[in-house]
Amino acid sequence: MPNEQARRLLFLLFPTDVAESVYRLFGDIVAAARAQLSVELLKRQAAAMDAWHRNGVASQLREIGVPVLLATGTEDLVIPASNALKLANAIPGAWLAQFSHRGHAFMAQYPRALADLINSFLAVVDPRRGRSDKRLHTPVCSRSIPLVLFRNGPQGRGYNRNA
């Protein structure tokens, strides 16, 4: 049963072609780690997620006054990419990076690309004003990784592609 749980988890985190190879390489390790999780811990995690959904902070998002970068995989099955778009639309000046054809664990597939994106974001934002007057250039990552950037307006008026 732990191996089947590991398989399901990996297929949630990665696109199918990647999940299959990750499962072949690391499935036993993931299964062993999953078997170590107590039922109590899993119940607490489920309760925390339920509370977050019930008592979310959506009404407070417009009050965020610091630079925000959201990154998501467009094929995320755990947290749909549409959720990131909703968050980004609610946070004035937020930046949204979408890794095309990537799942929930895109950062495990492309750690360098994500690090480059974060470093580029930090280089153009002004933390004192909570926004940037500069453009964040999309070739921050390897050209072989499809990445689309959007930036919400400072007053939260919607997105401009390739900020």
For the chain, which domains are there?
2-54 (no CATH), 63-161 (3.40.50)
pLDDT per residue as tens digits for the range 35-70: 898 999 989 988 887 887 778 777 788 888 888 899
> What's the pLDDT score for residue 77?
86
> What's the pLDDT score for residue 23?
94
> What's the pLDDT score for residue 24?
94
CB 53, CB 79: distance < 8 Å: no
How does 119-154 read in b/e, with b if 16+ C-beta sit within 10 Å?
ebbeebbeeeebbbeeebebebbeeebebebbbbee
> What's the pLDDT score for residue 163?
44
Q: Which residues sit opposite 73 in a β-bridge?
A: 99
- Which residue reads 């937020």 in tokens? 94
Q: Name the pTM for this structure.
A: 0.70
What is the Cα–Cα distance from 160 to 163, expressed in whole angstroms?
6
Kindly indicate the confidence band of residue 141, based on its pLDDT and cuts at 50, 70 and 90. Answer: very low
pLDDT per residue as tens digits for the range 99-111: 888 889 989 888 8
